């Protein structure tokens, strides 16, 4: 295993700051005199606003201002909150209904912001919010995934938001016509929420010329662009910053309506304003995730090789398009549609449906867990129907190592892989041969044991270009400016360590600066497992440019050369001088060559990388209570060359934990009227440390060919693999008792019900 940086132990550079209470989280660093913002939210899922009277509230103590849609309209803030409309290979584009920053005439989901109240304190703003007279005439809440259901947006005939297709329908039809066996499976993905430890927080201030907007997001440049557009400002009149962030997981990528309304309030007041929601408000207003139902069909020939694959999926968009909502279960799903298997043809048809729920968007994996869960569960079912081992069926259909680069039916090119080697290592480390003995031991105690397998592949997403800048400071320190945004992944450590390894600069001298649109002109933010791969590629390019520039300078300044750079020093055959980069920068400063003190490069990846791996797990189920325990877990992953093994392991552990949460206990639930039933952690079950065993990890790398480091992303891999592995293990445990289908979440009540139903079916 090749690793850049330190061994698997050690403390991250940022940990000391966090562990000693010196983290700079937005709610803790607000300037004195900041006003408090509170949003009045829709108390029903669907209804027409018949009265909205703010007169009494405006006159209450401490109130600085109140904004409704009418106030935003009067200020010219009428544009739709930004979202991407999906477009398929046929040229069919999704619907683009208007999403206002504050509700306009109709509320379409519980918790939709209707009015913004700003006051001297949160208590005063809450009191004023209660004094706003809001009268809503309820309309039926449309909650099911029925494309032909009653529309919730004017101008649309039904609730179909996007009808997307990719693949060769004729080739797939022909493959199924000649198949010796077809396996069909329908899988429901439960709706979840990201629930980061730090809820969304935002701050805005206007100095009469420029807007400063701070939020705890995953990148600043989309926000800069969209606030400028929404408020009619020149982009240079907007500065966006992000301090430390307590978790994002995709949910904090988006521009939300609250951001636009808050920025306008600050501009109108000329005073700083902050919005700090509590957990209940976060549960109401954060984007949801997953929430889809998919049917897969796999066609096999007589030798159990896959001939074709067909998927139809219906997914919940929520009440409006969120930033990437239309693309998650269509474009991003398609990136890994056929997984690691050599499948000649495939077809994906995906329909996004509007419902009266909070909009649905990205969550750790964003389309990849959904696609892989469906495929891997269908592969397990096919193995049962064909009477072969799930591992053997997978092995028979893997893309061979000599087939790379390999282009999938979705048009995605995998650069490299050795899937058979990864599977063999997982089978060995997971002691698959000893499973039957462990199952027998569980049965001796009255327990049911199941083995679950999942072979995932993930496509690195997001912008394929990134900026990096290196600045040499007068005090001898170095600043590295990056275009991504840490949400807790350890970027400060890995970026500083990588630059130190490339240049010989002492890591302790390197400060990593992120999240400030004034300090680095462009960046792609964090999401889709892109950060370390793309950012390090940009850092690599910047370091190469910097070394070349300083080499040319030293040739002139020292009247020697040519200088070459090796092991942190410049050397020339006709000179005994061996300056470091720090010393070269000091010399450039003394010569007035200030242009050499900052180097910036934008680098573009020649292609995406594709982390992959096999997850094996074993569960025990108590048939008397339905309680499931995750007993063993192993992840054997190909992340290419690891820059920092400790951080990679941490990402896998965290991803598996979040996958376990969705697989076993988490679900956002609404009643028939669209009221949220899981609005707090009393009702929404989060996994606990005691729920998880130690997660084993081994790296079996095949270095990527599309970046200079040979690495692949790892941030979402744990979740992508965990969902199908755990679900497959649960069904394997329950199969001997007659249970033939499971869906997440695998709660005790649901498992107990499946077992009782199987008993009733088996009764004479």
**Closest residue by Cα to residue 412 from 353, 332, 492, 498:** 332
The pLDDT of residue 3? 33
- Three-state SS for 419? helix
Tokens of 663: 């697989």
Using the predicted structure, report yes or no on whether residue 490 has a pLDDT greater than 80. Answer: no
Beta strands (DSSP E) in 406-474 are 406-407, 413-414, 448-457, 465-472
Beta strands (DSSP E) in 29-147 are 35-41, 47-53, 63-67, 106-107, 113-119, 133-138
Sort strands 113-119 and 63-67 into parallel, antiparallel or unpaired: antiparallel
- Reported as a single tens digit per residue, the pLDDT across 260-299 is 999 999 999 999 999 999 999 999 999 999 999 999 999 9
Using the predicted structure, report yes or no on whether residue 401 has a pLDDT greater than 90. Answer: yes
Using the predicted structure, report yes or no on whether residue 488 has a pLDDT greater than 90. Answer: no
The pLDDT of residue 647? 85
| Other CB atoms within 10 A of residue 624 CB | 10
Using the predicted structure, report yes or no on whether residue 406 has a pLDDT greater than 70. Answer: yes
The pLDDT of residue 2? 29
Tokens of 274: 């902050």
The pLDDT of residue 6? 39
Query: d(Cα 630, Cα 435) in Å, to the nearest integer?
Result: 15
Query: d(Cα 420, Cα 539) in Å, to the nearest integer?
Result: 33
Sort strands 35-41 and 273-275 into parallel, antiparallel or unpaired: parallel
**Which CATH fold would you assign to the domain 288-461+608-762?**
Aldehyde Oxidoreductase; domain 4 (3.30.365)
Q: What is the mean pLDDT of the chain?
A: 94
- Reported as a single tens digit per residue, the pLDDT across 219-253 is 899 999 999 999 999 999 999 999 999 999 999 99
Strand partners, 117: 38, 66
The pLDDT of residue 8? 41
Tokens of 387: 């009477």
Burial class (CB in 10 A: 0-12, 13-18, 19+), 7: exposed
The region of weakest confidence among 16-20, 45-49, 69-73, 427-431 is 16-20
| Other CB atoms within 10 A of residue 681 CB | 12
Phi, psi (degrees; rounded to nearest 5) at 138: -65, 145
The pLDDT of residue 4? 35
Q: For tokens 């004034």, what's the residue?
A: 518
Strand partners, 3: 642
The region of weakest confidence among 12-26, 254-268, 545-559, 687-701 is 12-26
- Three-state SS for 519? coil
Sort strands 133-138 and 106-107 into parallel, antiparallel or unpaired: unpaired
Beta strands (DSSP E) in 605-752 are 612-621, 628-638, 695-699
Q: What angle do CA 758, 763, 764 make, to 5 degrees?
A: 150
Query: d(Cα 672, Cα 750) in Å, to the nearest integer?
Result: 20
Q: Write out the DSSP string of 269-320.
A: HTS-EEE---HHHHHHHS-EEEEEEEEEEEEE-TTS-EEEEEEEEEEEEESS
Query: d(Cα 424, Cα 616) in Å, to the nearest integer?
Result: 12
**Which CATH fold would you assign to the domain 34-139+200-247+252-278?**
Aldehyde Oxidoreductase; domain 3 (3.90.1170)
- Three-state SS for 397? helix
- Reported as a single tens digit per residue, the pLDDT across 1-13 is 223 333 444 678 8
- Which architecture does CATH list for 462-604? 2-Layer Sandwich (3.30)
Tokens of 742: 């499971």
Per-residue pLDDT, averaged over 670-678, amounts to 97
Query: d(Cα 433, Cα 391) in Å, to the nearest integer?
Result: 12
The pLDDT of residue 528? 65
Query: d(Cα 551, Cα 241) in Å, to the nearest integer?
Result: 35
Domain 34-139+200-247+252-278 identical in fold to domain 288-461+608-762: no
Query: d(Cα 186, Cα 189) in Å, to the nearest integer?
Result: 10
Per-residue pLDDT, averaged over 41-67, amounts to 98
Q: What percent of the chain has pLDDT over 70?
A: 99
Using the predicted structure, report yes or no on whether residue 718 has a pLDDT greater than 70. Answer: yes
Per-residue pLDDT, averaged over 138-147, amounts to 94
Using the predicted structure, report yes or no on whether residue 149 has a pLDDT greater than 90. Answer: no
CA distances from 595 to 13, 550, 598 (A): 30, 11, 6
The pLDDT of residue 484? 81
Strand partners, 511: 479
Element (H, E) at 493: helix 491-503
> Where exactly are the structural domains of the chain?
34-139+200-247+252-278, 288-461+608-762, 462-604
Query: d(Cα 201, Cα 259) in Å, to the nearest integer?
Result: 9
The region of weakest confidence among 45-49, 76-80, 527-531, 625-629 is 527-531
The pLDDT of residue 10? 61
With 0.85 as the threshold, say if the pTM is over it: yes
- Three-state SS for 481? strand
Q: 290 with 191: CB under 8 angstroms?
A: yes
């Amino acid at each position: 295993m090749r690793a850049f940086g330190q061994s698997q132990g050690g403390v991250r550079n940022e940990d000391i700051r966090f562990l000693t209470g010196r983290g700079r989280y937005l709610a803790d660093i607000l300037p004195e005199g900041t006003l408090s913002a509170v949003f009045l939210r829709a108390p029903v899922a669907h209804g027409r606003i018949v009265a909205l009277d703010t007169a009494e509230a405006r006159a209450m103590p401490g109130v600085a201002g109140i904004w409704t849609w009418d106030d935003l309209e009067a200020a010219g803030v009428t544009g739709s909150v930004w979202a991407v409309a999906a477009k398929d290979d046929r040229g069919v584009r999704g619907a683009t209904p208007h999403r206002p920053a504050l509700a306009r005439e109709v509320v379409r989901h519980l918790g939709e912001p209707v009015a913004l109240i700003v006051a001297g304190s949160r208590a005063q703003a809450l009191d004023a919010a209660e004094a706003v007279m809001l009268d809503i005439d309820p309309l039926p809440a449309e909650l099911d995934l029925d494309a032909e259901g009653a529309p919730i947006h004017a101008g649309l005939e039904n609730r179909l938001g996007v009808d997307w297709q990719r693949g060769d329908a004729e080739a797939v039809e022909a493959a199924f016509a000649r198949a010796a066996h077809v396996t069909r499976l329908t899988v429901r993905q439960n709706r979840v929420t990201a629930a980061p430890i730090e809820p969304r927080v935002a701050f805005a201030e206007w100095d009469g010329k420029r807007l400063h907007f701070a939020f705890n997001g995953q990148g600043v440049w989309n926000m800069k662009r969209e606030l400028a557009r929404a408020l009619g400002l020149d982009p240079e009149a907007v500065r966006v910053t992000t301090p430390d962030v307590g978790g994002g997981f995709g949910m904090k990528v988006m521009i939300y309506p609250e951001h636009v309304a808050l920025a306008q309030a600050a501009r109108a007041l000329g005073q700083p304003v902050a919005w700090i929601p509590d957990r209940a408000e976060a549960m109401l207003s954060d984007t949801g995730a997953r929430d889809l139902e998919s049917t897969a069909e796999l066609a096999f020939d007589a030798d159990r090789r896959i001939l074709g694959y067909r998927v139809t999926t219906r997914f919940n968009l929520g009440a409006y398009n969120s930033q990437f909502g239309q693309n998650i279960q269509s474009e991003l799903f398609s990136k890994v549609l056929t997984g690691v298997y050599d499948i000649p043809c495939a077809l994906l048809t995906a329909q996004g449906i509007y419902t009266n729920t909070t909009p649905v968007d990205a969550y750790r994996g964003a389309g990849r867990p959904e696609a892989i869960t469906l495929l891997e569960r269908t592969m397990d079912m096919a193995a049962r129907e064909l009477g072969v081992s799930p591992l053997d069926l997978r092995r028979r259909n893997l893309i061979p190592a000599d087939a790379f680069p390999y282009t999938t039916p979705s048009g995605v090119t995998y650069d490299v892989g050795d899937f058979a080697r990864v599977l063999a290592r997982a089978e060995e480390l997971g002691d698959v041969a000893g499973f039957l003995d462990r199952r027998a031991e569980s049965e001796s105690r009255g327990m049911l044991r199941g083995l679950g397998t999942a072979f995932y592949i993930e496509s690195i997403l997001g912008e394929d270009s990134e900026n990096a800048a290196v600045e040499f400071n007068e005090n001898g320190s170095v600043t590295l400016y990056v275009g991504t945004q840490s949400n807790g992944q350890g970027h400060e450590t890995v970026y500083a360590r990588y630059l130190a390894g490339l240049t010989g600069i002492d890591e302790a001298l390197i400060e990593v600066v992120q999240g400030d649109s004034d300090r680095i002109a462009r960046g792609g933010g964090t999401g889709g497992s892109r950060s370390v791969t793309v950012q390090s590629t940009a850092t690599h390019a910047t370091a190469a440019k910097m070394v070349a520039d300083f080499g040319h300078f030293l040739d002139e300044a020292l009247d020697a050369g040519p200088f070459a750079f090796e092991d942190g020093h410049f050397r020339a055959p006709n000179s005994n001088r061996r300056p470091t980069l720090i010393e070269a920068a000091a010399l450039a400063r003394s010569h007035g060559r200030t242009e050499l003190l900052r180097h910036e490069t934008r680098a573009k990846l020649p292609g995406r990388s594709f982390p992959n791996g096999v997850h094996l797990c074993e569960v025990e189920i108590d048939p008397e209570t339905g309680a499931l325990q995750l007993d063993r877990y192993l992840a054997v992953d190909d992340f290419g060359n690891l820059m920092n093994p400790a951080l990679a392991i941490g990402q896998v552990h965290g991803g598996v934990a979040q996958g376990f949460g969705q697989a076993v206990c988490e679900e956002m639930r609404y009643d028939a009227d669209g009221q949220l039933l899981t609005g707090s952690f009393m009702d929404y079950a989060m996994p606990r440390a005691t729920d998880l065993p130690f997660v084993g990890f081994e790296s079996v790398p095949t270095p990527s060919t599309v970046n200079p480091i040979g690495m692949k992303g790892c941030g979402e891999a744990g979740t992508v693999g965990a969902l199908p592995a755990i679900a497959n293990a649960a069904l394997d445990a329950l199969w001997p008792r007659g249970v033939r289908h499971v869906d997440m979440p695998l709660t005790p009540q649901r498992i107990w019900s499946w077992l009782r139903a199987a008993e009733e079916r088996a009764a004479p």
